[in-house]
Amino acid sequence: MNPDAARLDLEAWRASFPDDPYRADRFLPALVHRSLDQARARSLDQAASAFARQVIAEVAPLAERTEHRLHLPELARHDRFGRVTEEVRFDPDYHGSGHVVWESGIVAHSGVPGRAFEQGTLLYLLSLEGETGHACPATCTIGLARALRRRAEPEVRDRFLPPLLELDYGRAERASQFLTEIQGGSDVGANAAVAEPAGDGTYRVTGEKWFCSVADAQQFLLTARVPGAPDGTKGLGCFVMPRFLDGAPNGFRIRRLKEKLGTRGLASAEIDLDGAVAWPIGPVEDGFKTAVGVVLNTSRWLTAVGGAGMMWRSYLEAAGFARHRRAFGRPIGDFPLVRRTLAGMKVQWLGALHAVWVLTGLEDAIDAGTAGDEEVALHRFLVNATKYEASWRATSVVRDAIEVLGGNGTIEEFSVLPRLYRDAMVYESWEGTHNVLVTQVLNDCRRLDLLSVLDGWLTGVLEAVSSPAGKEAAATALAALDDEIAGARRAVGDPGYGAAHFRTHLGRIMLVVEVASMLDSLEHDGPEELGPVADLLARLELESGYRPEADPAFTDRVDAALAGDLSG
């Protein structure tokens, strides 16, 4: 085989990538149609297809440039006449892709309660390109918009909310959220920045913030300690602070922009605050509840969605490559080792997609105000557990895709994968590290017995599986569920080392959630291959003592899960 033939194969791989990944997909459209009424599904269907095309045709080349080390954001603290501006300057292409992202409606939907399906779908599609410098700003803006809509006094809401809902990127204001200080990101209760009441309903905030993404935002949401309030998280207020007051920076100074492993096109800074004027979002004593219950939970949900989107892209890249790349005279997708890796990627991606979709449904209902007590409890468990599970799996699935592409997988200009890998690493830590999320779920289970709610829901879903294709997977998942819930209960009851064991149980419970949510979709006219996919996930991860090498049907199971993705 000559070099030109190899080049043609690689070109064929690139050309095989769908112009419209939404329409080329079998899974997401099925979920959209299953979850929404006809009119809403049709409208989302059209919007998703149009946005998917734009992500590939327009956002991708712009993001490739703006994430490059030569085109990263820069700090321009003064204007040409020496006036303080605290401006962050971007390559113009950054704003080019911002137009596409904002004008998809991903943020503007926040004006209507209960549009989580639309927002989750659009973010999943955007994540085909990773962070792109805009997924985080969109997420932060959705979070602040929700907090203002749900919690703020009318005059605060009316002042700050409308500019966040603008569809036009050129006119829209973007938001950021500053909680982390150098003495603690996980330990938000260690916040030392203070907010002094000014006597007119506003506060003056002074202190430093250590991780400030979207440092170019026009509105900052921040936490700060209120004088006389208790120590820890109970003493934190939650505020909105405009970037400018009377045309000048509002009492803040950007110390520097951070040079990061991933999400590089996004400006993340260290910021000093010195008497910045801020407005409380709702009662100050409820500040931490607003910051976590509305804002962080929104970010955790969308970070989980983003992780699933990066897994999707990784699978598409790798499966397409395996069809076209040849080694030893055959497409590499013929090799059982490659097929096994791809099948492992596919089950993890689809597991994550279906789990985040369940979470998205709960987000939709809670935001619309229609969720019952059980849904609220389920959400409380899943919002932390799904962010944990989806974000750590995303990195490993991107890594698998890089392995399938071989040396080419490590090359920046060859594919999007190196960028996804870096972004996925950041997704693992922001909005809550793994341990912190696991500990949060553990504490919630202790206080609220969420395990009973989860057990009831999962058992109901799994026992209702009737399709022959899903029955074995359901039986395996039910058996694992019993063991893991019992183990998790032991960990909950152990105030010493329980947390260390709980992480293992939680990981496996989330796998049951993934299997159950795929089977539930299969029951409701989801694509038939969800049966073999759920079966393979259940066997590999949940069946005690399962040894693929001793299973004569293993090859058939892998082939069934891949469902022809490697042919043609």
Residue 433 engages ligand FAD in binding (rule: CB under 6 A): yes
Q: Which residue lies nearest ligand FAD, judged by its C-beta?
A: 185
**What DSSP designation does 34 have?**
H
Contact indicator for 281, 151 with CB cutoff of 8 Å? yes
Find the radius of gyration of the CA atoms of the chain.
24
Q: Which among 20-28, 426-434, 478-486, 550-558 is the span making contact with ligand FAD, rule CB under 6 A?
A: 426-434
Closest CB 133 distance from ligand FAD, rounded Å: 12
| Member of 54, 121, 139, 213 binding ligand FAD (CB under 6 A) | 213
Residue with tokens 């099948």: 343
Residue 430 engages ligand FAD in binding (rule: CB under 6 A): yes
Residue 436 engages ligand FAD in binding (rule: CB under 6 A): yes
Q: Provide the 10 A C-beta neighbour count for residue 201.
A: 11
The footprint of ligand FAD on this chain (CB under 6 A) covers a number of residues equal to 23
Distance CA 414, CA 487 (A): 45
DSSP per-residue letters across 130-146? TTTTTHHHHHHHHHHHH
Q: Which among 76-84, 361-369, 424-432, 522-530 is the span making contact with ligand FAD, rule CB under 6 A?
A: 424-432
Closest CB 212 distance from ligand FAD, rounded Å: 5
Residue 426 engages ligand FAD in binding (rule: CB under 6 A): yes
Binding mask 257-276 for ligand FAD (x = CB under 6 A): ---x--x----x--------
Residue 185 engages ligand FAD in binding (rule: CB under 6 A): yes
Residue type, 368: A
Q: How far apart are the first and last CA of the chain?
A: 20
- Output 417 or 424, the one with its CB closest to ligand FAD: 424
Contact indicator for 389, 507 with CB cutoff of 8 Å? yes
* Residue 253 burial (C-beta neighbours within 10 Å; 0-12, 13-18, 19+): middle
Residue 396 engages ligand FAD in binding (rule: CB under 6 A): no
The closest of 177, 201, 179 to 192, measured between CA atoms, is 179
Q: Which among 174-182, 378-386, 443-451, 515-523 is the span making contact with ligand FAD, rule CB under 6 A?
A: 174-182
Residue 184 engages ligand FAD in binding (rule: CB under 6 A): yes
Binding mask 222-261 for ligand FAD (x = CB under 6 A): --------------------------------------x-
Please state at what angle helix 373-405 crosses helix 434-448, rounded to 10 degrees.
160
Distance CA 484, CA 504 (A): 9
DSSP per-residue letters across 238-292? EEEEESEETTEE-SEEEEEEPP-SS-TTS-EEEEEEEEEEEEESS-GGGHHHHII
Q: Which among 38-46, 183-191, 247-255, 276-284 is the span making contact with ligand FAD, rule CB under 6 A?
A: 183-191
| Member of 22, 90, 117, 211 binding ligand FAD (CB under 6 A) | 211
Residue 504 engages ligand FAD in binding (rule: CB under 6 A): no
* Residue 291 burial (C-beta neighbours within 10 Å; 0-12, 13-18, 19+): buried
What residues line the site for ligand FAD (CB under 6 A)? 176-180, 184-187, 211-213, 260, 263, 268, 426, 429-430, 432-433, 435-436, 439
